[in-house]
Structure 1
Amino acid sequence: MLLELLQAARSGNAARLRQIVAGCNRTHLNQVTEGGNTVLHIAAKMGHLELAKAICSLEPLLLTRKNFKSDTPVHCAARAGHHNILHYFVTAPFAYDRRGEEQEWFLRARNRFGNTALHEAAQNGHLKVAQVIMSVDSYLEAEENEAGVSPLYMAAERGSSTIVRLLLESDRCSYQGPNGQTALHAAVLRSYDITKLILEKEAGFIKVGDATNNSTPLHYAASSGNRKMVQLLLEKDSSASYLQDIEGLAPIHVAASAGHPNVIAELVQRRPDCTELITNQGRNFLHVAIVNKRLQVVKYVLESGILVDLNEPDNEGKTPLHLAVISKNRQIVQMLSSNGTVNTSIMNYEGHTPLDLAFLTINWEIALRMYNIMTDLINHGSRFTPQRLDLITNHLQRNQEGEIHRYKTLAKNLAIVAVLTATVTFAAAFTLPGGYKSDSSPNAGNAILANRAAFKVFLVSDSLAMISSISVAIIVLLRTGSLDHDIRLCSLITAMILMCAAVGGMLVAFATGIYVAVASDHKWLAVLIAVMICSVPLVAWMTAYWPSSDFLGLVKMTIIQETDVTADLDYRRYNRQIADRQRPGGIAEFHTP
């Protein structure tokens, strides 16, 4: 396209465009930009009405010309919301001219997505554009694009109630959306008013499932947690509460999975027996809530008195307590096991009690959590299934031997780091930043920068780092080799805390030392270095939680150690329970090394 022509089109200068065309061949109007846009595309997109009139009077066939995205000028005007230009297009005499290869009226032209101008107006929320289009062609609301999406679905998804109301005035209006959805699926997630309009027109869509997993609009509303929306749907047809998707999930299961007790309350109020619905895995809504760790739903069930069997097994014989243990959620385990109606020693179809599952699930990544769960189960009467006791004690002994090895490795690493930190901080105290006064005054030998605040922070942090690191070395050498488990545990934890303090003090000392030395001449450099030093803890934290990090193993190991004392007590307790059950005549106690 000629540069002058492009500039005239973008500025909306109709007079200039006429001059350009008059001075050359009219075929220049058929020139396009890199995107395939003609001057009429540009005028329609930018809302230049007078320019559009001038172009159409010179070359009316440009109205049906498509750019590289298959958009006509009508699409551009509809998408941008320029209803005045669109009104001119549909009322001008040339609009009814079907010359050339165009075999259908230009309003029904489709772009590469299959959208008509009405699709564009609905998707972008332009009511006046939609009114202009429908005043001329009322059949367009029945058209669907390449993805099977109707203008009504687009308007509902956009949340434009005025356009939805306009489209619903026609009996030919299509409700279809992508993947087998209807406009009601989109409406329940967007607007109460639009949902109400659609239900008043066609309430049967409440029971229509999508093509993905046969989810109805009530499934969608239940997943959003909008109780008012769920209430509106149930008022029209509460039997939709019983409809299930391809996995057997009813709306009450969806609400439980998403953690919305308010929606569950509404569903139970309308249809109390929907609590009996089970999924393809044989799970009720409480099972689903526990699998997804929805504490609020479990709490609601236990406190509200809903008629639910707390010991109901699924297809694998797993009760809610079994699933709570598998999900590793201690709070849910505590809530269920403390309820008097829950059988804490019930077996699944593989013969495992909840305590068995907790024991089998223990690994070094989640040991602390599972030991705590085992403690809760034991305290509420849960038992192991009948089995050989030597298998349990031998397993615990192997675990403890691994712990001792990890103790020694961690203690050795801590001692090395502590000695290095103490050496560095000790040397820094006698090589002060700025140096010493060397004149013959009474203050000779004193630090030159002693009066600066940053220097004082340097001294304090350096001293803190040195004292902490020396303390770590002493604790590791004298206490972590103790045979007493409690002493060894407390010593190691104390050493790690002091080591963190030493490293932090060393970082602060380095940052303040650099700052006090260069801030007077290059303050920006001093600030930059201080910021870089402050980022070290963040990098260390990210490294600690990075799956491939060696340091992660040390952190996990340290956390695990904190469980030993409690675990030892628990092991003695449940061994006594097993022994009492198997030897009623006396008490046999099994001790771990």
Structure 2
Amino acid sequence: MDFHRLAEIGDVRQLANQLNSTCDDDEIQWRHHLDHQDKDGKTLLHICAQYGHVDCAEFLVSRGAEVNCLKRNEWTPVMLACAKTSPGHRAIVRFLVNEAGADVWLRNKDGWTCFHVACRSGNLDVVSFLLDKYPEIWDTRGNTGRTPLHSAAMAGHLEVVRRLLSTSSSSSGGGTANAAAVNAKDSSGTPPVFDALRGGHVDVARLLVSAGGDLDARDALGQSVLHAACQAGQVDSVAFLLREADVVGRGMLNAQTAKFRLTALHLAAKERFPRVVGLLMDAGADDSVEDFRGRRPALV
């Protein structure tokens, strides 16, 4: 009998019957089947968590399943549950954390906790649950320095971003978000507002700016937020920056990156984004500026 298949479809009655029949009172057999990993390193509990079957998860834990077991890439069952947003997945997170003792501080190979995963997936209910239970969990970073706020901003999850900013504000003791949090940079020098605009999430960018997001920031390559939006071809983001964020007045329109001396127009032209090029030209971009090789935007 394929126990992993039964866990996948969520047939708790059949799963319990088959495991009880196979293992009886033999603890070695129970351990063998509970701990058995498929080709991806998933145990039965991983699979229940992945597919949102809380009743199966409860049964497996009652029989001694390891709650913090790691699959390939070092993902725990609670991480898999945090990656989805259905009622079943939310119930599994609460069960694993509240009753089964899941360790929310464990990290996968990328240095992410289950909280990073929940923020990336937009699982607001789980994000709020974890923040209420572990208020300090918002202030964590992955291996590349990325925070949960980076993850939520990149994915465009407005309400998750709002919740994170609210928590940051509370932790700083002030009425606005902690400036260090809203402008935190990853290892490439990218703050959350860059990620939001690269993804075309203007509503998220507006919220970050209203919370103190720094539009004058530069990443490790010397790129501005306008460079980032233009390179990604995000028309709405570029329009927002030109019309609402005064990037012209901030001196960004013809600003060049530190290493390759590229303007936003160079990047938009190189990536073949004609609508972005049009917006920049309409705003007065200088098409005669040369990069480090002496090339104008039309020639890159």
TM range (shorter): 0.7 to 0.9
In 2, Cα distance between the equivalents of 1:37 and 1:264?
A: 53
In 1, Cα distance between the equivalents of 2:287 and 2:281?
A: 13
User: Which residue is 2:282 aligned to?
Assistant: 265
- Give the count of matched residue pairs: 268
One-letter identity of the residue aligned with 1:12? G
1:75 deviates by 1.0
One-letter identity of the residue aligned with 2:69? R
The structure having more radius of gyration, on CA atoms, is 1
1:235 deviates by 6.8
Please say if 1:75 is aligned against 2:73.
Answer: no
One-letter identity of the residue aligned with 2:262? L
1:20 deviates by 4.2
TM-score (norm 1): 0.41
User: Which residue is 2:204 aligned to?
Assistant: 194
In 2, Cα distance between the equivalents of 1:116 and 1:50?
A: 24
User: Aligned to 2:72, what secondary structure does the other structure show?
Assistant: coil
One-letter identity of the residue aligned with 1:73? P
User: Which residue is 1:41 aligned to?
Assistant: 46
In 1, Cα distance between the equivalents of 2:146 and 2:202?
A: 21
In 2, Cα distance between the equivalents of 1:11 and 1:201?
A: 44
Residues 14-39 of structure 1: CA deviation (Å, up to 9, x unaligned): 33444444442232322222322221
In 1, Cα distance between the equivalents of 2:130 and 2:61?
A: 19
1:238 to 246, 250, 265: 250
User: Which residue is 1:291 aligned to?
Assistant: 299
In 1, Cα distance between the equivalents of 2:62 and 2:75?
A: 21
In 2, Cα distance between the equivalents of 1:148 and 1:203?
A: 17
2:117 to 114, 117, 120: 120
User: Which residue is 1:9 aligned to?
Assistant: 7
Question: How large is the Cα RMSD of the aligned pairs?
Answer: 3.1
Equivalent residues in 2 for 1:90-239, closer than 5 Å? 90-92=97-99, 94-95=100-101, 106-171=103-168, 173=181, 175-177=184-186, 179-189=188-198, 190-204=200-214, 206-211=215-220, 213-223=221-231, 224=233, 225=235, 226-234=238-246, 238-239=250-251
User: Which residue is 1:519 aligned to?
Assistant: none
Relative contact order, CA 8 A, sep 6+: which one is greater?
A: 2
Equivalent residues in 2 for 1:249-260, closer than 5 Å? 249-251=262-264, 254=267, 260=277
1:178 deviates by 5.8
Identity over aligned residues, as a percent? Answer: 21
In 1, Cα distance between the equivalents of 2:16 and 2:213?
A: 56
In 1, Cα distance between the equivalents of 2:59 and 2:49?
A: 12
1:11 deviates by 3.2
Runs of 4+ off more than 6 Å: none
In 1, Cα distance between the equivalents of 2:10 and 2:292?
A: 65
One-letter identity of the residue aligned with 2:246? L
In 2, Cα distance between the equivalents of 1:15 and 1:252?
A: 62
Structure 1 pair 290/69, CA: closer, same or farther in 2 (3 Å)? closer
Q: Given that residues 188 and 195 in structure 1 are in contact (C-alpha distance below 8 angstroms), is that contact kept between their aligned partners in structure 2? A: yes
One-letter identity of the residue aligned with 2:13? A
Q: Given that residues 70 and 111 in structure 1 are in contact (C-alpha distance below 8 angstroms), is that contact kept between their aligned partners in structure 2? A: yes
User: Aligned to 2:261, what secondary structure does the other structure show?
Assistant: coil
For structure 2, list consecutive stretches of 5 or more residues without a partner in the other structure. 172-180
In 2, Cα distance between the equivalents of 1:281 and 1:69?
A: 40
One-letter identity of the residue aligned with 1:48? H
Q: Given that residues 207 and 243 in structure 1 are in contact (C-alpha distance below 8 angstroms), is that contact kept between their aligned partners in structure 2? A: no
One-letter identity of the residue aligned with 1:44? A
Residues 368-417 of structure 1: CA deviation (Å, up to 9, x unaligned): xxxxxxxxxxxxxxxxxxxxxxxxxxxxxxxxxxxxxxxxxxxxxxxxxx
TM-score (norm 2): 0.76
For structure 1, list consecutive stretches of 5 or more residues without a partner in the other structure. 96-104, 269-273, 293-593
Q: Going by fraction, where is helix more abundant, 1 or 2?
A: 1
